Homo-oligomer: A and B are copies of this chain.
Amino acid sequence: MAALPSGILGALDPTSDRAVFRQIADQIREAIDRGRFKEGAKLPSESELVEHFGVSRMTVRNALSILQSEGLASSEHGRGVFVRPRPPVRRLASDRFARRHRDQGKSAFTVEAEAAGSKPEVDSLEVREEKPAPDISARLGSPRKVLARRRRYLLDGRPVEFAVSYLPLDLARGTQIAEPNPGPGGIYARLEELGHRLDRFDEEVRARMPSPTEVKTLRLSSGVPVISLIRTAYDTEGRAVEVCDTVMAADAYVLAYQLPAN
């Protein structure tokens, strides 16, 4: 049946203690690293690998699943297993909230994406009042209720980020911040118009594997972690006026920060 997968893959070492499926994964990984299989290229099919290595199909699948969990490959039902292409990366600069970037009619995300030649979209926008989770509440000075603004960001049709902004209700209710479209310059511009001149942002960065929900909403393939970023915005009086909880597809982002040496 299946043809040999060319001479790219070698043979197994029967004397090795290393499990057969790990050896197979090692070989394919090395071939990918050496560029024998390029980005987006199709790997040999399971049946070809079965034939080439003389093992059972579960052993081959086991090997392939290692590569998938490492983020090196991804399978497509009915088509094959492919070397995972590295998508274009969005760079978040630490000055992205600077006032000078805030005078446009569009959101920072839109402006920046268009500058990079991508088609930006914002999705599943939802604004509502709710009772905040404990950690959010603590950051905002324990308000009873908050305004939550949820939205998803897409780049060229691919979802890359899901964000929820929380604002103390006494501050946001009845203002344009509570509208789906917060107007030019976004909610930060509105906050400043309301007299809350922004002073600084605190950001907390974490990385972890996504929950099943996050896999779905960000359409993540296996082996892709998420970056969780929690930003708190403070006004010049030291009051926390917004907490933004963002989950980003880790393969789509680099965060860039600039620190003074003091």
A255 touches B223 (CB 8 A): no
The residue in chain B whose Cβ has the minimal distance to the Cβ of A91 is B204
A256, B202: Cβ atoms closer than 8 Å: yes
CB neighbours of A100 from chain B (8 A): 262
A71 & B261 in contact (Cβ 8 Å cutoff): no
- A250 and B206 in contact, given A94-B257, A261-B97 (Cβ under 8 angstroms): yes
Would A258 and B201 be within 8 Å (CB), given that A69-B209, A71-B208, A251-B208 are in contact? yes
Establish whether residues B97 and A205, one from each chain, have CB atoms under 8 Å apart when the complex forms. Answer: no
Instruction: State how many copies of this chain the complex holds.
Output: 2
CB pair A200–B256 under 8 Å, yes or no, is: no
A208 contacts across to B, CB distance below 8 A: 71, 225, 250-251
Q: Report A139 CB to chain B, min CB distance, Å.
A: 13
- Measured between alpha carbons, how far is A258 from B97 in the docked complex, in Å? 12
A222 to B203, CA, bound (A): 27
Is residue A254 within 8 Å, beta carbon to beta carbon, of the partner chain?
yes
Annotate A206-222 by CB proximity to B: 1 below 8 A, 0 otherwise: 11111110000000001
CB-defined contacts of A94 to chain B, threshold 8 Å: 257, 259
- Distance between A218 CB and nearest chain B CB, rounded to angstroms: 13
Residues of B within 8 A of A204 (CB): 254-256
Asked whether A126 is an interface residue with its Cβ less than 8 Å from the other chain, the reply is no
Query: Chain A, 84-98, contact with B by CB distance < 8 Å: what is the 0/1 string?
Result: 000000000011011
CA distance A201 to B257 in the complex (A): 8
Q: Is A117 an interface residue (CB 8 A)?
A: no
Min distance, Cβ A51 to any Cβ of chain B, angstroms:
22
Within the assembled complex, what's the spacing in Å between the Cα atoms of A262 and B100?
8
Q: Are B205 and A254 in contact (CB under 8 A)?
A: yes
B203 and A97: CB pair below 8 A?
no
In the complex the two chains form, is B70's CB within 8 Å of A211's CB? yes
Residues 182-202 of A at the B interface (beta carbon under 8 Å) = 198-202
User: Complex: how many Å from CA A99 to CA B262?
Assistant: 6
Closest-CB distance, A147 to chain B (whole angstroms)? 21
A260 touches B71 (CB 8 A): no
Least CB separation from A71: chain B residue: B209
Q: List 25 A-B contacts (CB under 8 A).
A: A29-B212, A58-B58, A71-B208, A97-B261, A99-B262, A100-B262, A198-B261, A199-B260, A200-B259, A201-B261, A202-B257, A202-B259, A203-B256, A203-B258, A205-B254, A205-B255, A206-B254, A207-B207, A207-B226, A207-B227, A209-B223, A209-B224, A209-B225, A225-B225, A233-B261
